[in-house]
Amino acid sequence: MFGVSTHLFVADRLDRDHLVDIAAHGFEAVELFGLRSHFDYRDRRAAIALAEWLDDTRLRLHSMHAPIAASYDKGNWKDGFSVASADEGRRKAAVDEVLATLDVAAAVPYQVLVLHCGVPVPYATAGDNHRGSLVRSLEELSPVAERYGVRIAIEVIPNELSTGQALVELIESDIDAAGLGICMDVGHARIMGDVVEAIEACSGHVITTHLHDNRGRSDDHLVPGKGVIDWDAATLAFQKVGYDGVWMFELAVAADRKPILEQAAKARERLESLLHIGDEMLGMDDT
């Protein structure tokens, strides 16, 4: 199943037409990006409206992305949140926002909450990426997520806490947080190094994806195939580690979304073909 994150529309207030556009381009699932100016996750009326739009469009709400900032303005995130902040007040404020996005599952069930472990290196300030603070936050969030039937997927992002290997070590440590998995963000993995190595490092723990491309230097969130990532190798690596979940496109915020969605639909067809080829290759290996 392929989906699109509403990150594409995050500069606007989410409405039914956005979901209609996603469904019209052949996608079946959605990830809802947590930003109150985009979707007010603290307003139950917004959740009820969302449930109606999902029903109308026959889209499945697969996941929510926990808030990373209080606002977004002209391409910039402002007043960032970090559940790994060494500042206890700031950490608790970030956790409170994440708890509010989990509450959405009471009205609109979803399977996965995608969570940043701290702040990407280009934007991080002192104390943003503190491992002990991250562990406390995950241990507070995990039982709430479990009550809602939601799994927390900690995302591969460019910082020392969030390499594939670091996330696996965290999950396999003695942390008191059940049901943790990993969101393999392919674009972020490419910025940090080798995509295939990152996927292989996370074998057995990947529960959702973010698919986007880049030119190898910055977090461009391009349509897959528009950058330098080797998607043949990446899709095969996912299959080799046994990933069979949702393939979620997380594309750059854009004013004119129709051509982006058209490109994404073509990229989806290409990835479907690669997955089919991979199935055949792996099937041959089993014989």
Q: Which tens digit of pLDDT belongs to each residue from 22-57? A: 999 999 999 999 999 999 999 999 999 999 999 999
Q: How many CB atoms lie within 10 A of CB 114?
A: 29
Nearest to 91, CA basis, from 64, 122, 119? 119
Q: Report the largest interatomic distance among the alpha carbons of the chain, rounded to a whole angstrom.
A: 57
Nearest to 68, CA basis, from 29, 113, 112? 113
β-pairing, 247-249 with 2-5?
Answer: parallel
User: What value does the mean pLDDT take over residues 136-147?
Assistant: 97
β-pairing, 69-73 with 76-80?
Answer: antiparallel
Question: How many angstroms separate the CA atoms of 128 and 88, rounded?
Answer: 11
Contact 44, 26 (CB under 8 A): no
Q: 223-236 pLDDT, tens per residue?
A: 999 999 999 999 99
Q: Is the pLDDT of residue 287 over 70?
A: no
Contact 117, 155 (CB under 8 A): yes
Q: Is the pLDDT of residue 85 over 70?
A: yes
Helical spans, DSSP H, in 117-256:
131-147, 164-171, 186-192, 195-201, 231-240
Burial of 179 (0-12, 13-18, 19+ CB in 10 A): middle
| 79: its two tokens | 């007043």
| 51: its two tokens | 């449930």
DSSP secondary structure string for all residues of 144-170? HHHHTT-EEEEE--SSTT-SHHHHHHH
Q: What contacts 262, CB < 8 A, 6 or more positions away?
A: 25
Write down the mean pLDDT value for the chain. Answer: 94
Query: What pLDDT sits at residue 73?
Result: 86
Q: 93-123 pLDDT, tens per residue?
A: 999 999 999 999 999 999 999 999 999 888 8
| 13: its two tokens | 């207030």
Residue ranges covered by each domain of the chain: 2-286
Q: How many CB atoms lie within 10 A of CB 189?
A: 25
2-286: CATH architecture: Alpha-Beta Barrel (3.20)
Q: Tokens 């991979």 correspond to what residue?
A: 278
Q: Is the pLDDT of residue 148 over 90?
A: yes
Query: What pLDDT sits at residue 286?
Result: 58
Query: What pLDDT sits at residue 227?
Result: 96
pLDDT band, very low/low/confident/very high, at 285 (cuts 50, 70, 90): low
DSSP 244: -
